[in-house]
Amino acid sequence: MQLTENSVGRKLLMAVTGALLLGFVIVHLLGNSSVFLGPDGINSYAENLHNLGPIVWVFRLVMLGLIVVHIWFGVSLTLENSAATPIGYASQEYRRATFSSRTMIYTGLALLAFIIYHLLHFTVQITDVEFAARQNMDAINRPDVFGMVVNGFKQTFTTVLYVVAMIVLFLHLSHGVQSILQTVGLSNDKSLPVVTLAGKGLAFVLLLGYISIPILIIAGIVKI
């Protein structure tokens, strides 16, 4: 009750689920960076993951739960907030609120759309059927994830879409990271500016990390 009704309780749920999702984003990048080791790197990484069997499904369900909670409360808090502000100002000027803090709901929903597309693309593999890893095996008969990724990102449209999505993620995180620490009560006047900067830094590193894959691919540096 406290957690799901109270203003601070729900904010706390947002922070905790956000923190765990952030953890996933970091781990996912580390996993993805195996693409730079060539076909053997990412294909064996994917193979190993799949061999975990039911644990993969437990993990997927947990992730689904986190996302549902994060989005459910994100949307309901946003609706409540806009109901609390029925009339805006004729003249409006922000001083501390940032573009990214003001657009959290939009970047969040955009990320949801992206996640769905991303799952269809690389997990369900139904958007680019001809490169789907499940039907293209590599030299030692593993699903050729490397081929799927590289062929996928050779298409400008896909690359642009991923880069844009990662910029959206950057915006979401550049407010989100410091927000997590503030919400769980771990910031103060001295740490907040540092944490804010560090949060943006982390978000930027993640942005660079993620977009380096499609960009290096489309630039022809990572190739089959």
Closer residue to other proteins (CB): 130 or 189: 189
Residues sharing a CB contact under 8 Å with residue 103, sequence separation 6 or more, in sequence order: 171
Closer residue to other proteins (CB): 93 or 130: 93
Shortest CB 196 distance to other proteins, Å:
9
Shortest CB 113 distance to other proteins, Å:
21
Shortest CB 124 distance to other proteins, Å:
33
How far from 187 is each of 15, 181, 194, 199, CA to CA, in Å?
13, 6, 10, 13
Closer residue to other proteins (CB): 19 or 77: 77
Closer residue to other proteins (CB): 10 or 142: 10
**Helix 156-183 / helix 191-218 crossing angle, nearest 10 deg:** 170
Q: Give Rg (Cα) of the chain.
A: 20
Strands (E), the chain: none
Structure tokens at 122: 């690389």
179's torsion region: left (phi>0), alpha (psi -120 to 50) or beta?
alpha
Shortest CB 109 distance to other proteins, Å:
15
Shortest CB 195 distance to other proteins, Å:
10
Residues forming the site for other proteins (CB under 8 A):
2-3, 5-12, 77, 80-98, 101-102, 104, 175, 178-179, 182-189, 192
Which amino acid is it at 64? L
CA distance 149 to 214: 8
Closer residue to other proteins (CB): 72 or 117: 72
